[in-house]
Structure 1
Amino acid sequence: MTIKVVRGNPTPEELAAALAVVRARAAAAAAIPPGAPAARDSWSDPARIAAHHLPQPGPVSWGRTFWPG
């Protein structure tokens, strides 16, 4: 693995921290078995959206639009 600093002048500590993050991500990606489904981030999970009920149309639905019930 080769990492090249394109811009700036990082200190040895900053470079070591960046390298540690890159190596940790590479090790985590290598630990996933081939063919396994990719892990989803909870923010992009469609089940998060489906878990909340949307307000039903009606004469008072405007009052429930911004307040979780």
Structure 2
Amino acid sequence: MQTLVICIDRDNDLGEKAKLETPIVGREANVQAAVALGIADPEDSDTNTIFGGIRILDELRAKGTDASSSE
């Protein structure tokens, strides 16, 4: 892997609100984490941040970049 896309949850909303253990590694795991956080608190901006990271990951991969994701 050459490129790592990282979203940092400094206030631990994933742990506090969605009851998830971090780090969250991999695209599908991040999608599931964002959905879980969005359900727990639809107004939490971390949900958009995770989805934004997934979008960037997909764009990098579409360009042929060897990339992985982690939250």
Give the TM-score, by structure 1 length.
0.34
Which structure carries more relative contact order (alpha carbon 8 Å, separation 6+)? 2
Structure 1 or 2: more helix by fraction: 2
TM-score, L = length of structure 2: 0.33
